Structure 1
């Protein structure tokens, strides 16, 4: 059993997305192009919007947005030394992939959630994967290899097994993190790689609206040769970062990726590059 110390961050999330139901494919694309043009006219180069055909053709953009926050008013547990960590000098820019260069390959792996509203589970599993690599390096161990499936955590298990959540219909990252502490989390890579105890079940860029599989206490991959209970790793503490920019920056520089949810407007669905700032929705 391996214990990992980590922190996480959650913001509120609200949806402001318009529906494309009952529009023809051309009408959907035309509507999306107008949003892209309007966004780029207002952005003045701060960020670039680009037409994404798959997103434009979705009947409901909300299928991709699964954060349903139900965090308890009183925090159940407090991260160790959250407020005592020495303040760092914050640079003008910081990239976790260069700050922890030996983990760059793992941090740079982006999980495609497909057409399932489990961003709350995918982001938690991905952040934990990053932070596990970084924690090993900070302990003086060699960085896990990018090609080693045993260092990637399963979004499928969080999606299917986190109590009180709704799988592809949404969930709260807070409870996903709590699951890693109380129940542990097995390995699982993305759909394409298809390795680990519970690899992701849905293909990238999926066009079907998927439903989360039922929770099972066994590996879903018959090729994985580690028993389910032996495959689990447990986190030691979970909690929040202080809700200010400096605290978030310090946490990222100290320990790597954090999880956040935010308000999503129409224009964000066509984000391409730059530093996003909402213009309309």
Structure 2
């Protein structure tokens, strides 16, 4: 019996070593294939591609939002960071964690909405718009017979914000706003979307659901034009970008991401809030939705000006409706 147990332990250890070796080999291959970014293992990549696929799911609508014509009147600086431009808006620096749910589309959209409300009011209104509310209640944001954790459309999300409105709500386990995010660290075998609630789930919040609604005044997409995207960010704030994710993206740690893999997984939505240049490569500065343990404390850079992974052709945004009362 002891011999059998020792044999099983050896088999388990060999499997673990083999798995780690394959993991490290992939990281080494990525780092040897290019010089612009550094790949490193993390909790997401250790769980495998099928796990990472569940964190994606952003979709592109065939009926896109109207294109907004942006007249770039100010000179575009070589670098820009919305966190520095609007220091009084802490939401811009916030990194979200979607947990095991394909809610990137909802989180990236509500993050940009929160930022733009703060920017439009010059810091007078600092709130977090609820990704939970958008994720669970916008049925038109998803495909038929699916729910928000199965993925959604950012353009339809902006229209929902404009037409139906969204309440406030902070991160998981917070007491911020009407409907904080309800999905925390979960069993990796379970993927679910919470039910839509038309009342505040935060019992300590004193404003009613109906009175807590915030609305957009305009929803639009931007042309695949770097200067126009930059001009819109400089005037109104961060934008939502949807791009194709390849198998190597999960390993990103630092530097300017340029894909080395041809294995496309799914689409993903993130927040773009700045740009710059590094090692002779122009980049977009973006916030991911996979927590602070991924990438550069949750942030990443991706090549700008070449439509890397389609990121410049899938930009959506909106303007808030600000009450003057």
Q: TM-score when scaled to structure 1? A: 0.79
The Cα shift of 1:118 comes to: 0.8
Question: Is 1:269 matched up with 2:254?
Answer: no
Partner in structure 2 of residue 21 of structure 1: none
Equivalent residues in 2 for 1:82-121 (5 A)? 82-83=68-69, 85-103=71-89, 105-121=90-106
The Cα shift of 1:223 comes to: 1.6
Partner in structure 2 of residue 278 of structure 1: 259
* Distance change in 2, residues 1:25/1:61 (3 Å): farther
The Cα shift of 1:68 comes to: 1.9
Question: Is 1:154 matched up with 2:130?
Answer: yes
Question: Is 1:135 matched up with 2:120?
Answer: yes
**Structure with greater strand share of residues:** 2
CA contact (8 A) 2:130 2:167 kept: yes
Note the alpha carbon deviations across 1:141-184, whole angstroms, 9 max, x for none. Answer: x4445xxxxx1000011111112313111111111111101100
Equivalent residues in 2 for 1:15-54 (5 A)? 28-44=19-35, 46-54=36-44
Question: Is 1:125 matched up with 2:110?
Answer: yes
The Cα shift of 1:275 comes to: 1.5
* Residue ranges of structure 2 left out of the alignment (5+ in a row): 1-14, 264-325
* Distance change in 2, residues 1:201/1:88 (3 Å): same
Partner in structure 1 of residue 320 of structure 2: none
The Cα shift of 1:25 comes to: 5.9
The Cα shift of 1:26 comes to: 5.3
* Residue ranges of structure 1 left out of the alignment (5+ in a row): 1-23, 146-150
Which among 211, 214, 220 is matched to residue 239 of structure 1? 220
Question: Is 1:175 matched up with 2:156?
Answer: yes
Q: Distance in 1 between matches of 2:248 and 2:186?
A: 19
Aligned alpha-carbon RMSD (Å) = 2.0
Helix, strand or coil at the partner of 1:179? helix
Which among 159, 162, 170 is matched to residue 189 of structure 1? 170
Q: Distance in 2 between matches of 1:206 and 1:144?
A: 36
Q: Distance in 2 between matches of 1:205 and 1:213?
A: 13
CA contact (8 A) 2:34 2:260 kept: yes
Which among 29, 34, 47 is matched to residue 57 of structure 1? 47
Q: Distance in 2 between matches of 1:206 and 1:126?
A: 26
Q: Distance in 1 between matches of 2:95 and 2:41?
A: 20
Deviates more, 1:24-33 or 1:196-205: 24-33
CA contact (8 A) 2:70 2:228 kept: no
Q: Distance in 2 between matches of 1:64 and 1:27?
A: 26
Helix, strand or coil at the partner of 1:174? helix
Helix, strand or coil at the partner of 2:38? strand
CA contact (8 A) 2:70 2:231 kept: no
Helix, strand or coil at the partner of 2:257? coil
The Cα shift of 1:259 comes to: 0.3
Q: Which has the higher contact order (CA 8 A, sep 6+)?
A: 1
Q: Distance in 2 between matches of 1:270 and 1:195?
A: 32
Q: Distance in 2 between matches of 1:262 and 1:117?
A: 14
Q: Which structure has the greater CA radius of gyration?
A: 2
CA contact (8 A) 1:114 1:206 kept: no
Q: Distance in 1 between matches of 2:221 and 2:98?
A: 24
